[in-house]
Amino acid sequence: MATLVKTHTPPPQSEYDNLLIWVFVALLSIGLVMVYSASIATAEGSKFTGHQPTYYLMRHAMFIIVGLVAGVLVFQVPVQLWQTYAPVLFLAGAALLVLVLIPHVGREVNGSRRWLSLVVINLQPSELMKLFAVMYAADYTVRKGSVKHMFSKAFLPMFAVMVVIGGLLLNEPDMGAFVVILSIAFCTLWLGGFNVKVFGALTVALPLAFAALILSSPYRMQRVIGFMDPWADPYGKGYQLSHALIAFGRGEWLGVGLGASVEKLFYLPEAHTDFLMAVIAEELGLAGVACVIVLFALVVIRAFQIGRHAAFLERNFSALVAQGIAVWIGVQATINIGVNMGVLPTKGLTLPFLSFGGSGVVVNCIAAAVLLRVDYENRRIERGMPI
């Protein structure tokens, strides 16, 4: 009589990174709830919104839907196609940065000219430029791989491009976007194996350059002075930061409760955009802040792991794109949280995936889709399947 032997069949592996998908869903969901909580008083008291308390909630929900639809469409695009058109996209982004500086074309808000009016929404070219910078830097690093140890042929062209883009961004002015794009570019070169001596020189040159930028502009100098001691002028230069710190102090361990923030009641400016983390800290306390930080840490860690997997499969462009997205999200989130906590001077950067803002949310969703596409292709290639 034959003996039946039971064999264990391992479950089929998913073609998608389910953990990363749920992290993105969690960030967008937290952002939707907190944007509503932080903006309800502002919306209700403003003539611009028609005194509708749900004005920012509905617009933010619309941006998330547009971002998700765009993300689904972008996910269908092979990574190789992004590499082919990376230089063209980068030039298009630079053209938009020029366009936004033209009088009567670019829209000016609070002294900054950063938006292009598209009737229904305002497009912020610097947000698109962050994504295009990831693509361009990855493509540039791959193309220059054979001369990556030559300063003149590998580093100087990228440096010249960054000077041009930096000049355009600083004329808006948008120092925060410039810092993020610069971080993306040079971190990508570093991850691509460019000459270590070059980056040694950068550690000296960049701080000197930033010091010169700060000293040459009274506007930036005031921000640094206000950041160093916000209580010296709590009703002037230090107003935003002092109220952000009050919000953090009131939140303590578990917060005052969802919707119970006092600082969002016309005390803390930009509560639903740049200073959303301060409202999270006040309403959800250290627990809420830690939760958001852990979610961002998961995105950055998984993005670097996806990049390492792509590099193992000799997909160098895909690897650098994934790691560039990790640098982008990590640096921008760190700067925003640092500003809210008084660790860094005010930069005008939103919190990725969470803060109110059409261009930012949509581009963040597209970046998430690109990252998931890199992982999807990694998994299919590893199993010998077509992509």
- Residue 361: the pLDDT is 96
**Pairing outcome for strands 112-117 and 106-109:** antiparallel
Q: Which stretch of 164-178, 332-346, 357-371 has the lowest confidence by average pLDDT?
A: 164-178
Strands in 263-304 per DSSP E: none
In 3-state terms, what secondary structure has residue 122? strand
The predicted model gives 77-105 an average pLDDT of 94
- HSE of 16 in the Cβ direction (CA atoms, 13 Å)? 10
- Residue 12: the pLDDT is 54
Tokens for 107, please give them: 């829209």
Q: Residue 338 in contact with residue 151, Cβ under 8 Å?
A: no
Q: Which stretch of 23-32, 130-139, 141-150 has the lowest confidence by average pLDDT?
A: 141-150
Confidence band (pLDDT; 50, 70, 90) for 4? Answer: very low
- HSE of 356 in the Cβ direction (CA atoms, 13 Å)? 24
Residue of 310, 303, 312, 305 lying closest to 387 (CA atoms): 310
Question: Could you give phi then psi for residue 106, rounded to 5 degrees?
Answer: -75, 145
Q: Residue 131 in contact with residue 157, Cβ under 8 Å?
A: no
Over residues 284-331, the pLDDT tens digits come to 999 999 999 999 999 999 999 999 999 999 999 999 999 999 999 999
CA dist 158 and 277 (Å) reads 34
Confidence band (pLDDT; 50, 70, 90) for 1? Answer: very low
The predicted model gives 344-360 an average pLDDT of 89
- Residue 31: the pLDDT is 97
pLDDT for 262 beyond 60: yes
pLDDT for 80 beyond 80: yes
Q: Which stretch of 152-166, 243-257, 284-298 has the lowest confidence by average pLDDT?
A: 152-166
- Residue 193: the pLDDT is 82
Residues 6+ away with beta carbon under 8 Å from 149: 194, 195
**Residue 51 vs residues 42, 146, 170, 267, 292: alpha-carbon distances, Å:** 9, 60, 35, 18, 30
pLDDT for 9 beyond 60: no
Average pLDDT, the chain: 88
The predicted model gives 105-119 an average pLDDT of 78
pLDDT for 378 beyond 80: yes
> What residues pair up with 112 in beta bridges, in sequence order?
109
More confident residue, 223 or 379: 379
- Residue 347: the pLDDT is 77
CA dist 374 and 30 (Å) reads 26
Question: Could you give phi then psi for residue 116, rounded to 5 degrees?
Answer: -115, 125
Q: Assign residue 342 a region: left if phi > 0, alpha if psi is -120 to 50, beta otherwise? A: left
- Residue 223: the pLDDT is 67
- Burial class from Cβ neighbours inside 10 Å (0-12, 13-18, 19+) for residue 70 reads middle
Strands in 121-203 per DSSP E: 122-123
> What residues pair up with 106 in beta bridges, in sequence order?
116
- Residue 49: the pLDDT is 84
More confident residue, 125 or 228: 125
Q: Residue 387 in contact with residue 380, Cβ under 8 Å?
A: yes
- Residue 148: the pLDDT is 74
Confidence band (pLDDT; 50, 70, 90) for 336? Answer: very high
Confidence band (pLDDT; 50, 70, 90) for 5? Answer: very low
Look up tokens 């000459």; give the residue. 195
- Residue 172: the pLDDT is 84
- Residue 201: the pLDDT is 66
Q: What angle do CA 182, 185, 190 make, to 5 degrees?
A: 120
Confidence band (pLDDT; 50, 70, 90) for 129? Answer: very high
**Residue 242 vs residues 76, 91, 237, 336: alpha-carbon distances, Å:** 46, 40, 9, 15
The predicted model gives 233-246 an average pLDDT of 86
Tally of residues, the chain: 387
CA dist 185 and 201 (Å) reads 16
